[in-house]
Amino acid sequence: LASSDLSNTYLYRTKLSYADLQNANLSGANLTEANLIGANLTGANLTGANLTGANLCNATMPDGTVSQQGCP
């Protein structure tokens, strides 16, 4: 999924754990309650994306930081 155009897609509760989403366009995507545990979002565009309730535990964020959101 690296470099994919997933802009404005409905990904509610989608299981994307450990997905390679480097440089993906997720602008405007609905990622509400999505499972993004360990996903690689380096360089991804999340402008306007809805991440409400998403599990980002150990996900690498667009800026290269590792998220702890959703970790126990």
Tokens coding 27: 């602008």
pLDDT digits (tens, 9 = 90+) for 44-53: 999 999 999 9
Extents of the domains making up the chain? 1-72
Which sign, positive or negative, has the C-alpha torsion 15, 11, 69, 56?
A: positive
pLDDT tens for each residue of the chain, 72 residues long: 999 999 999 999 999 999 999 999 999 999 999 999 999 999 999 999 999 999 999 999 999 999 999 999
Which sign, positive or negative, has the C-alpha torsion 43, 64, 53, 71?
A: positive
Architecture of domain 1-72: 3 Solenoid (2.160)
The dihedral region occupied by 70, where left means phi > 0, alpha psi between -120 and 50, and beta the remainder, is left
Tell me how far the alpha carbon of residue 30 is from its chain's centroid. Answer: 10
pTM over 0.95: no
* Cα–Cα dist 9/72, whole Å: 28
